[in-house]
Amino acid sequence: MKVLISLPWKRDDILRLDEFTKKLEAAGCRVTVSPGTARMTEEELIRAAQGCCAHICGGDAWTSKAMDALPEIRIISRIGVGHETVDIEAARNRGIAVTVTPGAGAQYVAEYAFTALLALSRRLYQNDTQMREGNWSPVIGRSVSGKTLGVVGFGLIGRQLARWAQGFGMKITAYDPKEDPDYARSNQITYLPLEELLRTSDYISLHLPLLPSTRNLIGEKELAMMKKTAVLINTARGGIVDEDALFRALQKKQIEGAALDVFCNEPLREKSRFAALDNILLTPHIAGGTYEGLTSIVEMAVDNVLKIINGETPPGQITPLRRNKE
């Protein structure tokens, strides 16, 4: 069984990659590792995955055409929780197992979101820029203690973020289509309708999957509801925020600031209009990208493949393997 591991990071970024490849080899797999591989297009994927039965990958374009061109593929093990670059119905119809890695990177994404919240609140970027330009001219920020953090999407990442924010004395409100009243009561969380959360929060952090129902969830209307001092943080998916509307809101200082780790089109083009703004923090889809975080999600992606080989159902399975394909 041939397995391709294509990673968007350098090999040394994954602390125990050799250990993971040995686990696959012990299960009878022939493993090819392709580090530093950006998101492969349909054509690039068809060339790279010839003869592969399993692919451990990032946001590569697993279209129905790619699946037809690679008839031996049986497992697509996505690194991370998103699977919008995989044609799920095409995989289901072909009996191809698709898995993701829920929970493996949750604490690292939450850590980034809270770091961004603090950096924007205390104006670290602006103060650093002033110092580098030789100006001793402090830019005053805000304290987070006593402020309200609105978490949109209250799953594993959102809950971890809430715990850390509460440690800094913040109040937590949450919006999620599937509320957990017992958890909310025992953890001092207040569920609110989305519009009320947007109107009342000082900081808003997005932790939702990109679905037809969440595309452009935050647009011109929603941005207009926010406080003038509000800060928006998106570590989920770029399509959840209408980037045109956000750019206008930031340009007009309609809200105080934003942090974007994800974008509608990645990688972000070199001359992005956002780069000209002084009230936004831009990072290259790195929220889960610590050495520990990357290692954790790659390990789970490898384990998902091994579980399917062994006839088990991994926790992040989206579509099952049709066993009569063996």
Q: Does residue 159 share a domain with residue 100?
A: no
Q: Does residue 186 share a domain with residue 222?
A: yes
Q: Does residue 267 share a domain with residue 127?
A: yes
Please write down the HEC assignment for all residues of the chain: CEEEEECCCCHHHCCCHHHHHHHHHHCCCEEEEECCCCCCCHHHHHHHCCCCCEEEECCCCECHHHHHHCCCCCEEEECCCCCCCECHHHHHHHCCEEECCCCCCHHHHHHHHHHHHHHHHCCHHHHHHHHHCCCCCCCCCCCCCCCEEEEECCCHHHHHHHHHHHHCCCEEEEECCCCCHHHHHHCCEEECCHHHHHHHCCEEEECCCCCCCCCCCECHHHHHHCCCCCEEEECCCHHHECHHHHHHHHHCCCCCEEEECCCCCCCCCCCCHHHHCCCEEECCCCCCCCHHHHHHHHHHHHHHHHHHHCCCCCCCEEECCCHHHC
Q: Does residue 12 share a domain with residue 147?
A: no
pLDDT at residue 81, rounded to an integer: 86
Q: What is the pTM of this model?
A: 0.89
User: Is residue 8 very low, low, confident or very high in pLDDT (cuts 50, 70, 90)?
Assistant: confident
Q: Does residue 18 share a domain with residue 114?
A: no
Q: Does residue 111 share a domain with residue 91?
A: no
Q: Does residue 213 share a domain with residue 121?
A: yes
pLDDT digits (tens, 9 = 90+) for 15-70: 999 999 999 999 999 999 998 887 899 999 999 999 999 999 998 999 999 999 99
Q: Does residue 213 share a domain with residue 85?
A: no
Q: Does residue 185 share a domain with residue 124?
A: yes
* Mean pLDDT of the region 214-224: 98
Q: Does residue 235 share a domain with residue 125?
A: yes
Just list the catalytic residues.
237, 266, 285
Which residues span the domain enclosing 172? 106-282
- If one counts the domains in the chain, the total is 2
Q: Does residue 244 share a domain with residue 128?
A: yes
pLDDT digits (tens, 9 = 90+) for 80-99: 888 889 999 999 999 999 99
Q: Does residue 161 share a domain with residue 97?
A: no
pLDDT at residue 275, rounded to an integer: 93
User: Is residue 324 very low, low, confident or very high in pLDDT (cuts 50, 70, 90)?
Assistant: low
Task: Output the domain CATH number for residue 70.
Answer: 3.40.50.720
